[in-house]
Amino acid sequence: MFLLIAILLAFVGGNGPGWLVAIVVTATAAGITLPDLDSRLRLGHRSALLHGILPPALALLDQRTWGIAAGLGFGIGCHLVADLFPGRMRGFATIKLPLWGAIGAGWSYLWIIGNAAGTLLGGLVVLRRIADGRAVAGALAGAGIVGVAYLLRAEGGWRALLMLALLGWLATR
């Protein structure tokens, strides 16, 4: 639902910074839940198709949806960081590649770390390319609130939140 709203905002909404902030924040909310559509789509839980950079990359195909790409990057990145802390990294928790199957615990951790970094950093790069300082700050604040709200209730969320806070602090140094 959030993704549909973000698409409508991107194509029907205005062009100002407020619209961009709304698009990014709504797309962030969509990105947080998007990876778990894999089970409903019968792709297998933790499908590499939705637990990675592919959805934001597809949103980069049209310049009008770059705000969606940034938001999806932030949302999927938060989801992936939480996925780094499952009860046990085996079976249900491992990444599944199409036509291949589960890739095992070690490769799953590498996949999640690499794609979390790619989606989060990619979202930031895209956002800085399409927005000025105040819109970037507003979009990051809104996306941050959505991300924190998700991580506070997700399995492994506290550890993920602390990890993201440390990485954010290091990135600003």
Q: What is the dihedral of CA 154, 67, 127, 164, to 10 degrees?
A: 0
Contact status, residue 38 vs residue 48, Cβ threshold 8 Å:
no
Residue 48 phi, psi (nearest 5): -60, -25
Q: Is the pLDDT of residue 119 over 70?
A: yes
Segment 34-61 mean pLDDT: 92
Segment 37-47 mean pLDDT: 86
Q: Which residues of 59-83 are buried (b: 16+ CB within 10 A; e: fewer)?
A: bbeeeebbbbbbbbbbbbbbbbbbb
Alpha-carbon span 69 to 124, nearest angstrom: 10
Proportion of the chain in helix, strand, coil states, percent, rounded to 5? 75, 5, 25
pLDDT reported for residue 102: 86
Q: Is the pTM of this model over 0.75?
A: yes
Contact status, residue 24 vs residue 37, Cβ threshold 8 Å:
no
Segment 102-111 mean pLDDT: 91
Find the domain containing 6 and state its range: 2-172
pLDDT reported for residue 90: 63
pLDDT reported for residue 74: 97
Contact status, residue 28 vs residue 142, Cβ threshold 8 Å:
yes
Residues near 82 by Cβ (< 8 Å), separated by ≥ 6?
Answer: 150, 151, 154, 155, 156, 157, 160
% pLDDT > 70, the chain: 97
Tell me how many domains the chain contains.
1
Residue pointed to by tokens 């440390």 = 166
Q: Is the pLDDT of residue 89 over 70?
A: no
